[in-house]
Chain A
């Protein structure tokens, strides 16, 4: 495995690591372009010169990993290294493969999400409708029980009916996720969440569900709604839940 393949492998396994690249050098033994990978535990793969230079780099790389700050550092006169922190792909799970899911999957993919689409109807959950996505045609409950969701996962629930929405949320909400959004009017959302509350899902967790879904931009067509959902996902990712909720409350005042 060469260095690039190793990087692909680390990102795919969601490992945090620092990719150090020499960007300015007068040392022929470590010319510009030389790379080393530093893992969270300090393990160093590759070298940027003599041992003391590697040790200095290792310390700085571990610091960068701890702070989450990518930046360029000067290790010696005329010797600069860029400490990059390649991010793992963000995961988006779309439950429901209908009219909104098609443009949503496309927008989200282009915004940097790796997208999985799930529906129990094989003609809707069909790979031809979702290029570049993982597509699962299976019963919602069965598929979600098998699926591992992690705290970095974004989940959008846009099935064709509230029974299916409730089925999905029953499996999703006990797990920790970065975001859960539920389609539907305020009333339908409340109806589904109240039913889940009666089934024992804590009110605090139900309160985290974004419903109605999407930023309030007056979206009407499936594409517009997909855009408003994609915008909410970007807002969650870049600015966090507080801002995403604040933007919604602009509309709630009406």
Chain B
């Protein structure tokens, strides 16, 4: 999905009254699957559009987005370590670290 398609989707969700979260990689250190600026939209039903790199890291972003949409309603800066035990077991062996900003977009 292109960046343009991501923002278009976000605008469309907003216009249709569907709350959604945008997750954006803001910083990386070491080897990571994607670079800063990579984006993913998460809806309250768990649907995702785009990708922040797949695997456990992306799943953490998805969980943070659902937490934000269903509970906290507040943005979160998520630190994802692709080197921890869980990551290695799950196949995330890039070895780096990334920070993902997760923010809610409410319908108008």
Contact = CB atoms under 8 A, between A and B. Distances in A.
A86 B37 contact: yes
Question: Helix, strand, loop or mixed for chain A's interface?
Answer: mixed
B27 interface: yes
Interface stretch (A3-11, A121-129, A178-186, A242-250): A3-11
A86 B14 contact: no
B37 A85 contact: yes
Interface residues of A, number: 28
Question: Helix, strand, loop or mixed for chain B's interface?
Answer: mixed
Interface residues of B, number: 23
B7 A11 contact: yes
Interface in A33-50: 33
A12 interface: yes
Given A70-B36, A85-B37, A2 B27 contact: no
Given A32-B77, A33-B103, A86-B37, A114 B2 contact: yes
B25 to A, nearest CB: 9
A167 B12 CA distance: 40
B4 A72 contact: no
B26 A8 contact: no
B53 to A, nearest CB: 15
A82 interface: yes
A176 to B, nearest CB: 23
B103 A21 contact: yes
Interface string B1-45: 111100110110010000000001011000000001100000000
A5 B9 CA distance: 10
B77 A71 contact: no
A82 B7 contact: no
A89 B6 CA distance: 11
Interface of B: 1-4, 7-8, 10-11, 14, 24, 26-27, 36-37, 74-75, 77, 99, 101, 103-105, 108
